[in-house]
Amino acid sequence: MPAANPNIEAPRAVIRQLDEAAINRIAAGEVVERPASAVKELVENALDAGASRIEIAYAEGGKRLIRVSDDGCGMAAEDLPLALARHATSKIDGSDLLAISSFGFRGEALPSLGAVGRLSITTRAAGSEAASIAVSGGQMGAVRPAAAGAGTCVELADLFYATPARLKFLRSDRAEAQAIGDVVKRLAMAEPAVDFTLRDVSGGGEGRIVFRAAAQTGDLFEALRARLAEVIGRDFAPNAIAIDAEREGIRLKGYAGLPTYARGAAVAQYLFVNGRPVRDRLLTGALRAAYADFLGRDRHPVAALYLDCDPHRVDVNVHPAKAEVRFREPGLARGLIVSGLRHALAEAGHRASTTVADAALGAFRAPEAGPARVYQMDRPAPRGFSEAPPVFEPIAPSARVEPEPQEPADGPLGAARAQLHENYIVAQTDDGVVIVDQHAAHERLVYERLKRQAAENGVAAQALLIPEIVELSEGDAVRLLAEAEALGRLGLEIEAFGPGALAVRATPAVLGAIDAAALLRDVLDELCDGGESPALAERIEAVLSRIACHGSVRSGRRMSGDEMNALLREMEATPHSGQCNHGRPTYIELKLSDIERLFGRT
């Protein structure tokens, strides 16, 4: 084979203008990633049209059919061809791309959908006749008369039939249907006053209702609370705290779940900016930071938060899908979320989620199988048998136990009545029973005490008579010495003592006598786990949490009645005492009515 002549240049590439069909298909790749993207665009159009009722139907995960019907303002027949043209929109006039108050504004959704699927629109505006238009693979048909009520119905069939390669990247019908449901739920949370219905019509006919959210009335928080109960679950509302905070013209409202209501994954975190559902790293990071003091690293908060501000202070034109935003003052938005959530959680005091008690009651209940059990005491006595009165032998005077004076059960956590297995305090309330994990509860109390001291004037240190020498690797010793100044403010004073060794000269006074070597290794673990924390304050709080564990009432220690009641009273007066430093509940409250049901007394 002859070698290529190096003097012969390769042909020069020619710059050409792409045709409209190719442009629309390229745009569709940015706007319509999957069926859920199409649903999002169409439902947002319905909301922008002022709809009060929206019905969404899909078949085969949206691959075969997506239909969105609304009772909005509709369109006139002469507007239909323009609605299918790229960058044609009624949402903005183009003079100010920051003053955007609608969901849509780019004018790309309908032409993009028509470029990759079979799209038809049937609409009627007030005072006009109904009309329809169809577009398939970018080829637009004529406007035709139609019979329809007020509003618009958009039907998209055979999505990506014009770009079959895209079909290979779609997931199963079930996964795509789940993504559609998630999009509809987020938009339903954004507009509580709108009625939403989602149907799966894969089998034909009316199909089955997958999700329904009735229009909510009342003030902002009442309507939002009811809508969140429909979307997140009925147990969210009683286990959530209302958020309402404002700073420098940015307002934060919504509901945040109690720390003990957390999930194992970040699947129930809903964030909105000026009513628009967004997935923003800045906001999710702020949410995580707000709960960092209350949750373990494997737990995630549940929240629905709404940020409202002047549209000029946030850019929603960052991504074609409009799922990302950019704040002009990102630090202000982040700080408002962190401070607003922490303030609300502090006001919740010792409150823990009701799901903790529900889980406990569920563990108590034995599975019902077979006929109801009949106990001996319920059986009728044999004929001719006379029941004798029970006889109890008197307790010998030497074995008599004098009961301790009992406190009234007036406080929310009641009065201590017993300690079980030297770890659990049982208290009696006016209408139930409280079971407290003494170590977890005291750990939180010590932690909050340490935080207050650190914030006011530093944690008081207790000098050791004989410094304790701790052997470590050289790397670990260097890591700890780098934080020596910060640790000193926390009452833990260390200094170098040869290669790979440290001398502990003082420990936090509030902890009393502790194992200094174990404390130092725990602090090291926290520093290694946390990595480069975004703020010194967050790193200090994480270290304080580890320190608090060493000064807490240990499991297996017997406590007197006075000590147990003192612990209960301090829990009632201490914010966040409903969960330990790792997010686990510190107590379980069982109502007397629930206990009676366990014994079949209702």
Question: Which pLDDT score is estimated for 4?
Answer: 59
Higher-confidence residue: 550 or 525? Answer: 525
- CATH code assigned to 220-347: 3.30.230.10
Q: How far apart are the first and last CA of the chain?
A: 96
d(Cα 578, Cα 571) in Å, to the nearest integer?
A: 8
Q: Which of 230-239, 339-348, 358-367, 529-538 has the lowest mean pLDDT?
A: 529-538
pLDDT above 50 for 255 = yes
Higher-confidence residue: 138 or 421? Answer: 421
Mean pLDDT of 138-157: 92
Mean pLDDT of 7-26: 68
Q: Which of 183-192, 327-336, 340-349, 511-520 has the lowest mean pLDDT?
A: 511-520
DSSP-derived 3-state class of residue 194:
coil
pLDDT above 70 for 536 = no
d(Cα 568, Cα 533) in Å, to the nearest integer?
A: 34
Residue 185 φ then ψ, to 5°: -65, -40
Question: Which pLDDT score is estimated for 75?
Answer: 92
CA distances from 528 to 464, 476, 490 (A): 26, 9, 18
Ordered by start, the domain boundaries in the chain are 20-213, 220-347, 357-363+408-602
Mean pLDDT of 111-135: 91
Instruction: Categorise residue 509: left if φ over 0, alpha if ψ from -120 to 50, beta otherwise.
Output: alpha
In our burial notation (b when 16+ CB lie closer than 10 A, e otherwise), range 98-123 reads eebebbbbbbbbbbbbbbbbbbbbbb
d(Cα 119, Cα 135) in Å, to the nearest integer?
A: 5
Q: Are 342 and 286 in contact (CB under 8 A)?
A: no
pLDDT above 60 for 79 = yes
Using CB atoms within 10 Å of the CB of residue 418, give its burial: 0 to 12 exposed, 13 to 18 middle, 19+ buried: exposed
* 134 CB-side CA count, 13 A: 9
The answer to whether the 20-213 and 357-363+408-602 domains have the same CATH topology is no
d(Cα 269, Cα 228) in Å, to the nearest integer?
A: 12
Mean pLDDT of 155-159: 94
Residue identified by tokens 């001719």 is: 384
pLDDT above 60 for 575 = yes
Q: What percent of the chain has pLDDT over 70?
A: 81
**What is the tens place of the pLDDT at every residue in 372-395?**
444 433 444 444 434 444 544 444
Mean pLDDT of 414-420: 92
Average pLDDT, the chain: 82
d(Cα 70, Cα 148) in Å, to the nearest integer?
A: 11
Architecture of the domain spanning 20-213 = 2-Layer Sandwich (3.30)
Question: pTM of the prediction?
Answer: 0.73
Q: What percent of the chain has pLDDT over 90?
A: 36
pLDDT above 60 for 419 = yes
**Structure letter (DSSP) for residue 575:** T
Q: Are 111 and 84 in contact (CB under 8 A)?
A: yes
DSSP-derived 3-state class of residue 27:
helix
Q: How many CB atoms lie within 10 A of CB 228?
A: 23
Which residue in 495, 491, 467 sits closest to 547, CA to CA?
A: 491
d(Cα 494, Cα 483) in Å, to the nearest integer?
A: 10
- Select the highest-mean-pLDDT range: 252-261, 378-387, 505-514, 576-585: 252-261
Whether domain 357-363+408-602 has CATH 2.40.30.30: the reply is no
Mean pLDDT of 153-157: 95
Categorize the per-residue pLDDT at 151 as very low, low, confident or very high, splitting at 50, 70 and 90: very high
Question: Which pLDDT score is estimated for 364?
Answer: 67
**What is the tens place of the pLDDT at every residue in 319-342?**
666 678 889 899 899 999 999 999
Using CB atoms within 10 Å of the CB of residue 497, give its burial: 0 to 12 exposed, 13 to 18 middle, 19+ buried: middle
Q: Locate 416 and state its tokens.
A: 């201590």
DSSP-derived 3-state class of residue 333:
helix
Mean pLDDT of 386-411: 48
d(Cα 32, Cα 94) in Å, to the nearest integer?
A: 23
Mean pLDDT of 342-367: 75
Q: Which of 23-32, 137-146, 315-324 has the lowest mean pLDDT?
A: 23-32
Q: Locate 96 and state its tokens.
A: 């100010």
| Residue 470 C-alpha from the chain's centroid | 41
**What is the tens place of the pLDDT at every residue in 172-186?**
999 999 999 999 999
DSSP H helices, 19-151, are: 20-31, 35-48, 80-83, 109-116
Q: Which of 55-69, 262-276, 307-321, 577-591 has the lowest mean pLDDT?
A: 307-321
Q: Locate 287 and state its tokens.
A: 């949410």
